[in-house]
Amino acid sequence: MIKPNSKRQCSMVFCALVLITLGVASLTEVTLLPMFAKHGVLECILITLAAVKIMLIAEYFMELHDAPRWLRGTMLTWVATTTVVLVGIVGINSQIY
């Protein structure tokens, strides 16, 4: 038989995704971190957390954790490249604006 993601594992990932989403949404509502926001740190955190959620979905829901290296690597490269470029743009420009 295939080695599928166990339902328990996927349920835990689903709960983690929901919790991160709710946490991120409340993070933007709370103004406890204006200092971070000013320097673009909060924006970088938000983008990075979105990337973490994307990797969780890719690894467990799309079943890439059992896939060959080239496939996992391609997905990881896509996520990492997109995240680094977005965070880089924020990092460079938040000093200006």
Partner 1 sequence: MQHIDTMNTERRVPVEPDFWLLIFGDLTVFSVMFIAFMLRRFESAETHTVFSMGAESLNQPIGLTNTLILLTSSYAVVLALSHYRSGDLRRMIRSIGIAIVCGVGFISLKIVEYMEKINQGITVTEDRFFELYFTFTGIHLLHVVIGISLLTFVAYRAFVKKQDAFSTPGFIEGVACYWHMIDLLWLMLFSLFYLLG
DSSP string, 31-80: -S-HHHHHTTHHHHHHHHHHHHHHHHIIIIIS-GGGS-HHHHHHHHHHHH
Nearest Cα to 94, choosing from 49, 35, 38, 47?
Answer: 38
Signed CA dihedral, 80, 82, 87, 92: sign only:
positive
Q: Nearest approach, Cβ of 65 to partner 1 (angstroms)?
A: 10
Site pattern 2..31 for partner 1 (x: CB under 8 A): xxxx-x--xx--x--xx--xx-xx--x---
Q: Which residues from 26-45 bind partner 1, rule CB under 8 A?
A: 28, 43
Distance CA 59, CA 72 (A): 8
Site pattern 67..96 for partner 1 (x: CB under 8 A): xx--x--x---x--xx--xx--xx--x--x
Which residues form the interface with partner 1 (CB under 8 A)? 1-5, 7, 10-11, 14, 17-18, 21-22, 24-25, 28, 43, 46-47, 49-51, 53-54, 57-58, 61-64, 66-68, 71, 74, 78, 81-82, 85-86, 89-90, 93, 96-97
